Amino acid sequence: MFTSKESQFRVEKLRAQVDDLRYRYHVLNDPQVTDAMYDGLMDELRKIEKEHPELVTPNSPTQRVAGKPSEKFEKVTHTVPQWSFNDAFNEEDMVDWEERIMKVLEKESGSRPKDLDYVCELKIDGLHMVLTYENGNLKIAATRGDGKVGENVTTNIKTILSVPLQVKSLKSKVQSHLVVEGEVWMDKEMLKKINVIRAKQGEDLFANPRNAAAGTIRQLDPAIVAERKLVLTSYDISSDNAPETQEQELQMLKDLGFKTDTHWKVCKNLKEIFEFHKHWQKNKTSQDFWIDGVVIKVNQKKYQNALGFTGKAPRWAIAYKFPAEQGATKVKEVIWGVGRTGAITPVAVMDPVKLAGTTVTHATLHNWDEIERLGVKVGDTVVVEKAGDIIPKIIRVLDKMRTGEEKTIREPKNCPICKSPVERKQTLDSRLQTIDDERGSKVQSPKSKVQTVALFCTNKNCYAQQLRRIIHFAGKSAFDIKGLGKKIVEHLVKEGLIENAADIFRLTKGDLDPLERFAEKSATNLVDAISAAKKVTFARFINALGIPRVGEETAIKLFNL
**Residues that are catalytic:** 123
Alpha-carbon separation of residue 44 from 40, 41, 51, 132, 387 (angstroms): 6, 5, 11, 30, 49
CA dihedral 340, 344, 349, 353 (to 10 degrees): -70
Q: Give, in order, the Cα–Cα distances in Å from 321 to each of 15, 85, 100, 125, 325.
A: 42, 11, 19, 11, 11
- Would you say 267 is a known binding-site residue? no
- The answer to whether the annotation marks 51 as part of a ligand binding site is no
Is there a binding annotation on residue 207?
A: no
- Is 418 annotated for ligand binding? yes
For residue 339, give the nearest of 428, 468, 457, 452 by alpha carbon.
Answer: 468
Q: Is 98 annotated as a binding residue?
A: no
With helix as H, strand as E and coil as C, how does 100-142 read? HHHHHHHHHHCCCCCCCCEEEEEEECCEEEEEEEECCEEEEEE
- 457 is known to lie in a ligand binding site: yes
Residues forming a β-bridge with 435: 443
User: Is 319 strand, coil or helix?
Assistant: strand
Euclidean distance between the first and the last CA atom of the chain, given in angstroms as a whole number = 72
Q: Determine the Cα angle at 549 with ends 444 and 433, to 5°.
A: 20
Smallest Cα–Cα separation from 289: which of 359, 208, 346, 374? 208
Q: Is 85 annotated as a binding residue?
A: yes
Residue 423 CA, chain-centre distance (Å), reads 37
Q: Is residue 187 helix, strand or coil?
A: coil
Query: Would you say 321 is a known binding-site residue?
Result: yes
430 assigned binding-site residue: no
Nearest to 504 by CA among 530, 483, 471: 530
Cα–Cα nearest to 488, from 526, 462, 514:
526
The CA-based angle 170-174-180, given to 5 degrees, is: 100
Ligand-binding site membership of 505 (annotated) = no
Calculate helix-pair angle for 209-217, 188-200, nearest 10 degrees. 70
Q: How far is CA 508 from the centre of its chain?
A: 35
C-alpha dihedral over 217, 222, 224, 227, to 10 degrees? 90
Residues 6+ apart with CB under 8 A from 283: none
Among 286, 176, 288, 169, CA closest to 233: 288
Asked whether residue 479 is marked as a ligand-binding residue, the answer is no
Spell 29-61 as b/e; 16+ CB within 10 A means b.
eeeeeeeeebeebbeebeebbeebeebeeeebb
Is 39 one of the annotated binding-site residues?
Answer: yes
35 is in an annotated binding site: yes
DSSP string, 518-530: --HHHHHHHHHHH
- Output phi, psi for 129, to 5 deg: -135, 145
Q: Tell me the angle at which helices 35-51 and 4-22 cross, rounded to the nearest 10 degrees.
A: 150
The strand pairing partners of 330, in sequence order, are 381
Q: Is 221 annotated as a binding residue?
A: no
Contact 499, 466 (CB under 8 A): yes
Binding site residues for Zn(2+), as ranges?
Answer: 415, 418, 457, 462
Binding site residues, as ranges?
Answer: 35-39, 84-85, 121, 144, 183, 297, 321, 415, 418, 457, 462
Binding site residues for NAD(+), as ranges?
Answer: 35-39, 84-85, 121, 144, 183, 297, 321
